[in-house]
Amino acid sequence: MKKKGKNSTINLQFYGDTNVDKSGGVGYEAHKTNIDFGSL
């Protein structure tokens, strides 16, 4: 996550926002994959 600061910051912020917006489980899982891809 520290490799791509730009992606990490956007992903982290978006991930948290979606987590609260969605049911929580769905948003968390969906965005969890996004963070993984960004790290790669």
| Residue 36: predicted pLDDT | 56
C-alpha–C-alpha distance, residues 29 and 13, integer Å: 15
Q: Is residue 1 scored above 50 in pLDDT?
A: no
Residues 13-38: pLDDT tens digits? Answer: 555 555 555 555 555 555 555 555 55
Residue spans of the domains in the chain: they are 5-39
Handedness of CA 10, 16, 33, 2 (dihedral sign): positive
Q: Is residue 12 scored above 50 in pLDDT?
A: yes
